[in-house]
Amino acid sequence: TSHKMTSTILTTTLFILLMLCNACITASECPSGHKQKSSDIEVLRKRFEGWTKRHGRIYKHSDEWEVRFSIYQANVQYIECKNAQKNSYNLTDNKFADLTNEEFRSTYMGLRTRSHSHTGFGYDEHGDLPESKDWRKEGAVTKVKNQGQCGGCWAFSAVAA
């Protein structure tokens, strides 16, 4: 039961923090006089239920559903506020709409390394190796490719070396 109590406390704390973040987003992002179009909570709940089905989201507990709904609500409000500013683009809810900015950043941005990765490379002690091998004759080396400004030229030079 200690794990369940810790989980409940964590969920409650997260919910309160999200509500505070939601209030801050509302106060800072919306243009003056703009009210959220989806202010009817039942309409937004139905919209969220459709979104969860569309994106295959299943939450283990009702507490988690409520937390994710709160995040979704804050993100929808942000989307509607930005769209009301008549920018050259329109935002919409996508498969990440139930994630906070921090959750998105930690999950989808940056390099993830394994601390103890094993490549599975093994040495073969059978036979002698030739003095040299021209991989061009084997068709394993391609011509130099123009990568433009993507910054990937180092990868081609490292792999083809």
CATH number of 92's domain: 1.10.287.2250
Is the residue at 57 inside a domain? Answer: yes
Is the residue at 139 inside a domain? Answer: no
pLDDT band (50, 70, 90) for residue 49: very high
Average pLDDT over residues 116-125: 67
Q: Is the dihedral of CA 110, 116, 118, 123 positive or negative?
A: positive
- Chain-centre distance of CA 9, in angstroms? 25
Is the residue at 142 inside a domain? Answer: no
The C-alpha atoms of residue 22 and residue 100 are separated, in whole angstroms, by 10
Range of the domain at 90: 7-108
Buried b (16+ CB within 10 A) or exposed e, 8-45: eeeeeebbeebeebbeebbeeebeeeeebebeeeeebe
Which of 81, 104, 105 lies closest to 28 in space, CA to CA?
Answer: 81
Query: Does residue 87 contact residue 31 with C-beta atoms inside 8 Å?
Result: no
Is the residue at 2 inside a domain? Answer: no
| pLDDT above 60 for 36 | no
Is the residue at 156 inside a domain? Answer: no
What pLDDT was estimated at residue 69?
Answer: 97
What pLDDT was estimated at residue 95?
Answer: 95
Which of 74, 77, 70 lies closest to 36 in space, CA to CA?
Answer: 77
Does the reported pTM lie above 0.85? no
Question: Whole-angstrom distance between the N-terminal and C-terminal Cα of the chain?
Answer: 58
Maximum average pLDDT range among 24-38, 81-95, 103-117, 130-144: 81-95
Is the residue at 74 inside a domain? Answer: yes
Which of 145, 121, 129 lies closest to 159 in space, CA to CA?
Answer: 145
Q: How many domains does the chain have?
A: 1
Is the residue at 132 inside a domain? Answer: no
